[in-house]
Structure 1
Amino acid sequence: MASTYSFDVVSEFDRQELVNAIDQARREITNRYDLKDSKTAIDLSENTITLETDSNMTLQSVQSILQTKAAKRNLSLKIFDFGKAESASGGRVRQVVTLKEGIDKEIAKDISKFVRDNVKKAQASIQGDAVRVSAKSKDDLQTAIQLLKSADWPVALQFTNYR
């Protein structure tokens, strides 16, 4: 009757928290003296954020504000993939920020190899854009979670379906 326990390693973010962070960033930009007249726009679409402002210097300030507001709402900064700043009409600057969600195949392979190498009694299997880790002991799963948290991954990791 040896039952197995498992959890899923996923990379996702709370979309409502992101919306709130963007709203707070917009409010701060309209209130800040140095950014008030820059006519800065932050537009959120399905999986991108478009930043448009009047210069590279204000673009850096807008990025900083956005990252600060996201961090205060417990969003990992690894979800933001800042693209190249490009010229827009009227001498303005535009930047597209891609939102990273899900674990791609290469990173999933690295995670499962990492678990196999460091936690001998745990098994990892790739399931779409998540990795399921299973073991006979909850202690082995706790060890796997701690090791995964301590390693530096290129995506934000969350641990769900712990049972």
Structure 2
Amino acid sequence: MPTFDIVSELDKHELTNAIDQASKIVANRFDFKGSDASFSLSEKMVTIKAESEFQIEQMQDMLFDAFIKRKLDVKALDYQEVQQAGKEVKLIANVKEGIDSDNARKVVKLIKSSKIKVQAAIQGEQVRVTGKKRDDLQQVMQLIRESEMDIPVQFNNFRD
């Protein structure tokens, strides 16, 4: 029986490249000359540091552009509150990976309510979809793409 997995993953190499690209843009921009603005990437966090909130907003736009150029989904970043400590302003964005149980239930509910003849099962941080026909699975993929999800989704392990 044909199957595929619905997952939420981010290519770590492309994420690093996007951060590096945004850092180069900050280094070359005239309005950031002499400022202490920077991007940094740790395990599953992107930290944006600057001297003012306005610069943080500018840097967010640069990061969005870098994500789009690298074909990464911007929904993968979960921004926290802007923190101010002395002269430094900091914004932390968590990188979302994996489908949490609430979103997995939403995906399964969406698939079941569509009345397409497939079965959807939650398996850890992914949803496996199984059906008798390849066309039904492609309909499910189209349905998921058209729905407004809070997380970026990809389709893996399509087997016939």
Alignment match of 2:153 (pick from 126, 151, 157): 157
Shift of 1:88: 2.1
Answer yes or no: is 1:84 the counterpart of 2:76. Answer: no
In the alignment, the residues of structure 1 paired with residue 84 and residue 134 of structure 2 have an alpha-carbon distance, to the nearest angstrom, of 53
Answer yes or no: is 1:109 the counterpart of 2:105. Answer: yes
Note the residue ranges of structure 1 that are not aligned, 5 or more in a row: none
In the alignment, the residues of structure 2 paired with residue 158 and residue 38 of structure 1 have an alpha-carbon distance, to the nearest angstrom, of 38
Q: Which amino acid aligns with 2:33?
A: K
**Counterpart of 2:75 in 1: which secondary structure?**
helix
Provide the TM-score with structure 1 as the length reference: 0.95
Q: Tell me the residue number matched to 1:8.
A: 5
**Counterpart of 1:133 in 2: which secondary structure?**
strand
Q: Which amino acid aligns with 1:155?
A: I
- After TM superposition, the runs of 4+ consecutive aligned structure 1 residues lying more than 6 A away are none
Q: Tell me the residue number matched to 2:41.
A: 44
Residues 56-135 of structure 1 aligned to structure 2 (within 5 Å): 56-89=53-86, 91-135=87-131
Q: Provide the alpha-carbon RMSD of the alignment.
A: 0.8
Q: Tell me the residue number matched to 2:21.
A: 24
Shift of 1:120: 2.9
Note the residue ranges of structure 2 that are not aligned, 5 or more in a row: none
**Counterpart of 1:34 in 2: which secondary structure?**
helix
**Counterpart of 2:39 in 1: which secondary structure?**
strand
Aligned residues: 159
Q: Tell me the residue number matched to 2:30.
A: 33
Q: Tell me the residue number matched to 2:52.
A: 55
In the alignment, the residues of structure 2 paired with residue 68 and residue 38 of structure 1 have an alpha-carbon distance, to the nearest angstrom, of 21
